[in-house]
């Protein structure tokens, strides 16, 4: 999911469907807007919930010229949201300014 998950308002059902379609040792690879991207774009700390945050539109427009929704991620947020389905195998920031991060998630049997 290269550059998609951070634009999904309710990502858990999507990730759950992916989980169900993977084989037992399957993995999910993500590229996401990071918590650091939020800090750079808004000059504020990332909120737990971006839904009604007044800086959300600034974040969206800084990171992407179209669309109305974007969220930030770090390893803790990935674990909190999807840890019941996946284990984080790798997590890293991938750009010189750390605006983007990647993660490799291994499917858990549930």
Which range marks the domain in which residue 19 is found? 5-107
Give the DSSP H or E segment for 36.
Answer: helix 35-42
Count CB neighbours of 64 within 10 A.
15
CATH code (residue 78): 3.40.50.150
CB hemisphere CA count around 44 (13 angstroms): 12
Count CB neighbours of 88 within 10 A.
16
Q: If you average pLDDT over residues 27-44, what whole number do you get?
A: 97
The predicted model scores a pTM of 0.93
Please give the Cα distance from 90 to 68 (Å, whole number). Answer: 29
Q: If you average pLDDT over residues 79-101, what whole number do you get?
A: 97
Number of domains in the chain: 1
The per-residue pLDDT for range 36-84, each reduced to its tens digit, is 999 999 999 999 999 999 999 999 999 998 788 999 999 999 999 999 9
């Amino acid at each position: 999911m290269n550059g998609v998950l951070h634009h999904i308002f309710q990502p858990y059902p999507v990730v759950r469907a992916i989980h169900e379609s993977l084989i037992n040792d399957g993995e999910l690879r993500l590229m996401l807007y990071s918590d650091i991207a939020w800090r750079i774009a808004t000059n504020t700390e990332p909120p737990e919930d971006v839904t009604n945050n007044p800086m959300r539109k600034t974040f969206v427009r800084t990171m992407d010229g179209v669309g109305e929704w974007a969220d930030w991620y770090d390893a803790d947020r990935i674990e909190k949201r999807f840890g019941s389905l996946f284990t984080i195998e790798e997590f890293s920031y991938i750009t010189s300014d750390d605006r983007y991060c990647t993660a490799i998630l291994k499917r858990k049997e549930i």
